[in-house]
Chains A and B, each alone.
Chain A
Amino acid sequence: MSNYRFQGATGEWEVVIGLEVHAQVVSQAKLFSGAATAFGAEPNTQVSLVDAAMPGMLPVPNKECIRQAVRTGLAINAEINRWSRFDRKNYFYADLPQGYQISQLYHPLVGEGYLDIDADEKAGIAEAKRIGIERIHVEQDAGKLMHDQHPTRSYVDLNRSGVALMEIVSRPDMNSPAEAGAYLRKLRSILRYVGSCDGNMEEGSMRADVNVSVRRPGDEFGTRTETKNVNSVRFVMQAIEHEAQRQVDVIEAGGKVVQETRLFNPDTGTTRSMRSKEDAHDYRYFPDPDLLPLELTEAFVEDCRASLPELPDAKRNRYVETLGISAYNADVLTAEVETARWFEALLAEGAEAKQASNWVMSELFGALNRLGKSIEDCPVSPPQAAELLKLVSDGTLSGSLAKQVFEKMLETGDGAGVIVEREGLKQTSDTGAIEAVIADVLAKNPGQLEQYRSGKDALFGFFVGQTMKAMGGKANPQVVNELLKKALS
C-alpha cells in the first residue's frame, strides 16, 4: 500500500490512478492496409485506398502487428486470448476517414497481466509494487488535423491513419504520481526491450490517458476524471498532481467531482474540462463485419514467446546473481534496452563484468552526460572500450592514465592502444626508475619525512602523490606503494 497522501484542509486523501497507454506498434505496415508507417514523411504520402476509406475498401489484418501485440502481452505476463475480435467504434471526425475506428472492445487480444515497479526511497515509493494490467487491445490510430496551414481552413494528414496502436489498460493500482511515473518508465522499458513500440513520447508514439480519483483512505473509489493524451512521464505526474489537488479542493469546498474528460496543458501543468459524461459520444460499438474473429494457434503464440528477448527484471537479476554486479548498477544498466545492449556488447568483447559495470556507470555515463549524447550515439564503441579496460586490467594503464586515454579516445576516435603508443602513456613498473624518483622526492621533502617518521602516517599519501607527479602519472601505483613503504621503513 502506498503511504502517499494528499493533505487537504479537512484531512488526508488517497489518490487512485489508472493509466491507459496508447503505444504505436513498430511495424513496416499499418494495421489493416499495408501502407507504410515511417514517422515524419510528407503529409498524405503514406496513405492507401483503405486508409482513405474509399468506397468498397476492406481491412485485412497485418500479422506483424498482431505478433507484436502478442509479444508485448507475453512480456507483461498476460493471458493471450486465442480468440479475439475487432469491433467498430463509430464517431465522426475529419481525421477518421471510415467514420469508425477499428478497435477491440468486447474481446481484446491480450487479457489480464501485470508489471512490477521497484521501491524507490528517493521518489517516495517505499516498497516494490505489482501493478495489474487489465488488457491490451489492438486498434487503428487516426490521422492528424493541421490548423496552421491556412487562415480559415484545416488540413488533414492521413499518414498516421490506420497505424496500429496497442492500448494498454492498467488496473487502478497506482496511488501516487511517483508510482505512475515508475509504471510508465517500466512499461516503456519493456516495450523497447520487446521492440514492439519505440516508446518515444515526444513524437507521440506513446501517450497516456490518465484516470484519477481521490478518496478518504479505505473508502470506496471516488468519481474519476480522464485526462487525455498526455505525452511525457513528467507531464503525467504533473497531471495527476494537479488533478488530485483540484478534486480534493472541489470536494472540500462541498462540491462533487464530475465524471468527465479533461485536457492537460503542459505550459501551466494544469488540466481543464473537455467534455462531460453527458456530452460523451455514444460510440455504438459492434463487431466489425468486414473482419473474421482473430484465432491464434498455439504454434503462433509459442513462436512469439520464443522470440522474446531477456526482459529487464530477469536481466537485472542475472547481473546481480551471476555477474556479481551491484544491485544499483544492475538497475541502471538494465533500465534501458540500449544501455544493456551496449554493456553486453562490451562483455562479449571480453571485459570483466564488475570492472566494466563500474567503468560504464562512472566514466562512460559521465562522458555521455558531459557531451549531451545518448548511449545510441556513443562516440566510443564497445570493442574500443573493451580494449581500454584490458589495458587497465593487464597493468598497462593505471586508473588515472585510463581516464586520460579515454578522453583522447573521445576526442580523436582512435583506439586506446594507438593512443598509449603515440602519447607514451604506458604505466611503468620499472623499479629502478621509481626508486630513483622516490629517493629524489624524499630528499626534497625533509620536513614531511621528519613528520612521517615521528608518526604522522597520513603523509604516506603525500609521498605517493609526489612520486606519481614526478613520474608524470605513469608509474604503477602498486609498485610505487611497495617501494615507498620499503624506502620509508
Chain B
Amino acid sequence: MTKLTDLGIAALRDGFRAGDFSARDVAIAFNDAVASAKPLNAFIVETPDHALAAADAADADRASGNLKPLSGVPIGMKDLFATKGVQTTAASHMLEGFKPEYESTVSSNLWRAGAGMLGKLNLDQFAMGSSNETSYFGNVISPWRRNNGDTAALAPGGSSGGSSAAIAARIVPGATGTDTGGSIRQPAAFTGISGIKPTYGRCSRWGVVAFASSLDQAGPMARDVRDCAILLENMAGFDAKDSTSLDLPVPNWEAALSSDLKGKRVGIPKEYRVDGMPAEIEALWEQGIAWLKDAGAEIVSVSLPHTKYALPAYYIIAPAEASSNLARYDGVRYGLRDLPDGANLQDMYAATRAAGFGDEVKRRIMIGTYVLSAGFYDAYYTQAQKVRTLIAQDFDKAWESCDLLLTPTAPSAAFGLGEKSADPLAMYLNDVFTVPTSLAGLPAMSVPGGLDALGLPLGLQVIGKALDEQSVLNASLALEERAGFTARPDKWW
C-alpha cells in the first residue's frame, strides 16, 4: 500500500472522502514524518496538535456529511503568516517568541476550508533571501543532493525554502509560500515541486508579515499543478481588510484544469537568454517549447526590452518599502527589546534593531533608507518606478501577440549552502527571471521540467496575463504531463 505521506493534496482529499483512511491517520503520518526530518530544519515550530485537532474535526465532519474543500488535508504554513497563539517569527530574532492574537486571512481561509497545520515553516529572514541562509533559526537544507557522491548541503531556494524542502521531502503534502520577487517559484524550481504566485491582490496580505507591500503575494506550493490549484482556491479571495485585495470572485481553477492548449499562443521572450546560462537550462527551455507545441499551443517570439532593468529596479523598490515596513520593529510594543543600562530611546532602537535583524535584513534596510533619502529619491526610487511601469508595458505589448510566456524559472540549479552567501549580487541574480513578473503583478508558476547532469531539478516558468491564473495552470499542467517528473530525493535525513 502507498504510504500516506506519498500522497498529494488531491489524493489525500479524495482518499479521505472515499473512506480509504481517516484524517487522523493522515495527520499522524505527516506529524511523524515532520518529527523525523529534523536535519532538514524545515520547521521553526511544529504544531502536531493543530494538525490532529483539524483531523478530528474532519473525521467528525465526514461522519456527519459536512465535508469541506480541504477536509483531511494537513499543510505547512510559512512562518510569515500570523497564526493565532502560535509563534510567528518571520525567521527573525526580532520576533522570536511572538505569538499573535490574530490569524492571517490566508491561513484563516485554509482552516475554514478544513485544512490542518503541521507547523510553521522556516524561511529567509523577513522573506529576504534566495537560499534560506538568512534565517535566524538556521538554514533549511534541501533534501536533494548531487548524484556525484558529493554530500554538500544544498540550498532549498528562498525565501520559501522551508516550504519547498518539506514538500520535496514528502513531510508535508503542500504549503503556503509568499513571493515578492520569486520566493515561491525559485525554491519550487530548486526542489522539483510546483508553486504559483497568483495575480497581485488575489490573496489577502492581512496578517502576513510585510516585506515589500506592492510586491508581496501569497501562493501555494505543492507537488503538482492540481494540488496548487486546489490550495489556491482556498487561499484566495477578497478581503476588505487589505486595500489592495481584488474584489473578484475566486474561480474554480481545479474544475477548469485542461492541458489542451489549442488556440493558445505562447511567447518566448528573447531577452531571457542571459549570458552564462547553463546549457542544460537552455535545453530544458527548448524542451518546454516542444512540449507546449505538442499540447496544441502556437509558439511565438516576443520581446520584453526592459527586462535587464528589472533586477536593479526591484532591488530599489523592494528595499525602499522594506525599510519603512520594518520600522515598526522598534522594541517598544512587542518582540525583542534590547535596553542597555542607561539607554535612552534612540539607544534602545539602535540596540534592539542591531540585535534583532540579520545582516541581509540590515543591508536591505540600509539600501532602502538610502534610495528614499532627500537628494537620492528621484535618482533611485522615482527612476525605479518608471522602470516598473515600462516593464509592465513590455508585458502588455507582449500580450498583443501571445497569451502566455514560457521561461526558465531560475538561471541555475540549486547551489550549495555558503556558495553565494558572501556575494549578495550573485545571490540577487537568482531572481532574474522571476522579478519582472513580480514588478508587473502578473501570475506565474514554476513546474519541474527535469534534472540536470548532477541529478538536481530544474524548473520552467509559465507567466500569464493578470487574473488569468487558469491559463497559467493549464499550460503548467501540459508541461507537467509531458515532463513526467517523478524524481524525488533519496531519504538521507
A residues neighboring B (CB under 8 Å): 49, 52-61, 88, 90, 92-94, 97-100, 156, 282, 284-286, 289-292
With A57-B206, A286-B377, A286-B381 as known contacts, state yes or no: A97 contacts B104, CB within 8 Å: no
Q: Which 10 A-B pairs have the closest CB atoms?
A: A99-B327, A284-B372, A289-B214, A289-B213, A53-B328, A56-B207, A55-B209, A290-B213, A282-B374, A56-B82
Partner of B327, one of A54, A57, A60, A100: A100
Q: How far is the CA of A56 from the CA of B333 in the complex (A)?
A: 15
**Do the beta carbons of A54 and B324 come within 8 Å of each other?**
no
A56 nearest in chain B by CB position: B207
Minimum Cβ distance to chain B for residue A293 (Å): 10
**Do the beta carbons of A90 and B209 come within 8 Å of each other?**
no
Q: How far is the CA of A94 from the CA of B332 in the complex (A)?
A: 7
Minimum Cβ distance to chain B for residue A271 (Å): 25
**Do the beta carbons of A92 and B327 come within 8 Å of each other?**
yes
Interface string of B188-231 (1 = CB under 8 A from A): 00000000000000000111111011100000000000000000
Please tell me the number of chain B residues within 8 Å of chain A, measured between CB atoms. 44
**Do the beta carbons of A99 and B324 come within 8 Å of each other?**
yes
Minimum Cβ distance to chain A for residue B105 (Å): 9
Q: Which residues from chain A contact B346 at a C-beta distance below 8 Å?
A: 92
Main secondary structure on B side of the interface with A: loop
Interface string of B229-266 (1 = CB under 8 A from A): 00000000000111110000000000000000000000
Q: Which residues from chain A contact B69 at a C-beta distance below 8 Å?
A: none
**Do the beta carbons of B349 and A54 come within 8 Å of each other?**
no
B residues neighboring A (CB under 8 Å): 81-82, 88, 90, 95, 98, 100-102, 104, 205-210, 212-214, 240-244, 320-321, 323-324, 326-328, 330, 332-334, 345-346, 349, 369, 372-374, 377, 381
**Do the beta carbons of B372 and A292 come within 8 Å of each other?**
no
Q: Which residues from chain A contact B241 at a C-beta distance below 8 Å?
A: 58, 60
**Do the beta carbons of B327 and A55 come within 8 Å of each other?**
no
Q: Which residues from chain A contact B208 at a C-beta distance below 8 Å?
A: 56
Q: How far is the CA of A52 from the CA of B241 in the complex (A)?
A: 16
A156 nearest in chain B by CB position: B332
Q: Which residues from chain A contact B320 at a C-beta distance below 8 Å?
A: 286
A286 nearest in chain B by CB position: B372
Q: How far is the CA of A93 from the CA of B333 in the complex (A)?
A: 12
Minimum Cβ distance to chain A for residue B214 (Å): 4
Q: How far is the CA of A133 from the CA of B88 in the complex (A)?
A: 47
Partner of B328, one of A99, A156, A289: A99
**Do the beta carbons of B206 and A58 come within 8 Å of each other?**
yes
Q: How far is the CA of A26 from the CA of B215 in the complex (A)?
A: 35
A-B pairs with beta carbons under 8 Å apart, 7 shown: A54-B334, A55-B90, A58-B206, A90-B327, A285-B372, A286-B372, A286-B381
B82 nearest in chain A by CB position: A56
Q: Which residues from chain B contact A100 at a C-beta distance below 8 Å?
A: 324, 327
Q: Which residues from chain B contact A291 at a C-beta distance below 8 Å?
A: 243-244
**Do the beta carbons of B209 and A56 come within 8 Å of each other?**
yes
Most buried by B among A56, A99, A284: A56
Q: How far is the CA of A407 from the CA of B28 in the complex (A)?
A: 86
Q: Which residues from chain A contact B345 at a C-beta distance below 8 Å?
A: 93-94
With A88-B324, A282-B373, A286-B377 as known contacts, state yes or no: A55 contacts B98, CB within 8 Å: yes
Q: How far is the CA of A285 from the CA of B321 in the complex (A)?
A: 11
Q: How far is the CA of A55 from the CA of B208 in the complex (A)?
A: 7
Minimum Cβ distance to chain B for residue A277 (Å): 12
Partner of A286, one of B98, B324, B334: B324
**Do the beta carbons of B244 and A49 come within 8 Å of each other?**
no
**Do the beta carbons of B206 and A97 come within 8 Å of each other?**
no
**Do the beta carbons of B214 and A54 come within 8 Å of each other?**
no
Q: How far is the CA of A52 from the CA of B330 in the complex (A)?
A: 12
Q: How far is the CA of A487 from the CA of B243 in the complex (A)?
A: 88
Q: Which residues from chain A contact B332 at a C-beta distance below 8 Å?
A: 94, 97, 156
Q: How far is the CA of A300 from the CA of B328 in the complex (A)?
A: 34
Minimum Cβ distance to chain A for residue B443 (Å): 19
Q: Which residues from chain B contact A98 at a C-beta distance below 8 Å?
A: 327-328
**Do the beta carbons of B100 and A55 come within 8 Å of each other?**
yes
Minimum Cβ distance to chain B for residue A266 (Å): 26
Partner of B210, one of A49, A56, A88, A94: A56
Q: Which residues from chain A contact B100 at a C-beta distance below 8 Å?
A: 54-56
**Apart from A54-B82, A290-B205: 17 A-B pairs, beta carbons within 8 A:** A54-B100, A55-B90, A55-B100, A56-B100, A56-B206, A56-B207, A93-B345, A99-B330, A156-B332, A284-B323, A284-B373, A284-B377, A286-B377, A289-B214, A290-B213, A291-B243, A291-B244
**Do the beta carbons of A60 and B243 come within 8 Å of each other?**
yes
Q: Which residues from chain A contact B205 at a C-beta distance below 8 Å?
A: 56, 58, 290
Q: Which residues from chain B contact A92 at a C-beta distance below 8 Å?
A: 327, 330, 346, 349
Minimum Cβ distance to chain B for residue A283 (Å): 8
B370 nearest in chain A by CB position: A284
Q: Which residues from chain A contact B101 at a C-beta distance below 8 Å?
A: 49, 54
Minimum Cβ distance to chain A for residue B185 (Å): 21
With A92-B327, A98-B328 as known contacts, state yes or no: A56 contacts B104, CB within 8 Å: yes
Partner of B212, one of A49, A58, A289: A289
Q: Which residues from chain B contact A49 at a C-beta distance below 8 Å?
A: 101-102
**Do the beta carbons of B333 and A97 come within 8 Å of each other?**
yes
Minimum Cβ distance to chain A for residue B247 (Å): 11
**Do the beta carbons of A292 and B244 come within 8 Å of each other?**
yes
**Do the beta carbons of A292 and B327 come within 8 Å of each other?**
no
Q: How far is the CA of A56 from the CA of B213 in the complex (A)?
A: 10
Minimum Cβ distance to chain B for residue A101 (Å): 11
Q: How far is the CA of A60 from the CA of B242 in the complex (A)?
A: 7
B209 nearest in chain A by CB position: A55
With A94-B345, A100-B327 as known contacts, state yes or no: A53 contacts B333, CB within 8 Å: yes
**Do the beta carbons of A52 and B333 come within 8 Å of each other?**
yes
Q: Which residues from chain B contact A97 at a C-beta distance below 8 Å?
A: 328, 332-333
Most buried by B among A52, A53, A282, A284: A284
Q: Which residues from chain B contact A282 at a C-beta distance below 8 Å?
A: 373-374
Q: Which residues from chain B contact A94 at a C-beta distance below 8 Å?
A: 330, 332, 345
A284 nearest in chain B by CB position: B372
Q: How far is the CA of A60 from the CA of B88 in the complex (A)?
A: 23
Minimum Cβ distance to chain B for residue A63 (Å): 12
Minimum Cβ distance to chain A for residue B469 (Å): 21
With A53-B333, A88-B324, A99-B330 as known contacts, state yes or no: A290 contacts B244, CB within 8 Å: yes
Most buried by B among A58, A88, A97, A156: A58
**Do the beta carbons of B327 and A61 come within 8 Å of each other?**
no
A60 nearest in chain B by CB position: B243
Most buried by B among A52, A90, A93, A289: A289
Minimum Cβ distance to chain A for residue B189 (Å): 27
Q: Which residues from chain A contact B372 at a C-beta distance below 8 Å?
A: 90, 284-286
**Do the beta carbons of A289 and B321 come within 8 Å of each other?**
yes
Minimum Cβ distance to chain B for residue A47 (Å): 10
B381 nearest in chain A by CB position: A286
Minimum Cβ distance to chain B for residue A210 (Å): 24
Q: How far is the CA of A57 from the CA of B81 in the complex (A)?
A: 11
Q: Which residues from chain B contact A52 at a C-beta distance below 8 Å?
A: 333
Minimum Cβ distance to chain A for residue B382 (Å): 9
Minimum Cβ distance to chain A for residue B87 (Å): 12
With A54-B100, A94-B332, A97-B333 as known contacts, state yes or no: A284 contacts B324, CB within 8 Å: yes
Q: How far is the CA of A92 from the CA of B346 in the complex (A)?
A: 9
Q: How far is the CA of A97 from the CA of B206 in the complex (A)?
A: 17
Q: Which residues from chain A contact B88 at a C-beta distance below 8 Å?
A: 55
Q: How far is the CA of A289 from the CA of B100 in the complex (A)?
A: 23
B210 nearest in chain A by CB position: A56
Minimum Cβ distance to chain A for residue B136 (Å): 15
Q: How far is the CA of A274 from the CA of B373 in the complex (A)?
A: 23
Minimum Cβ distance to chain B for residue A22 (Å): 22
Q: How far is the CA of A282 from the CA of B375 in the complex (A)?
A: 10
Minimum Cβ distance to chain A for residue B81 (Å): 8
Q: Which residues from chain A contact B243 at a C-beta distance below 8 Å?
A: 58-61, 290-292
Minimum Cβ distance to chain B for residue A142 (Å): 13
Q: How far is the CA of A92 from the CA of B333 in the complex (A)?
A: 13
Minimum Cβ distance to chain A for residue B120 (Å): 13
Minimum Cβ distance to chain B for residue A51 (Å): 10
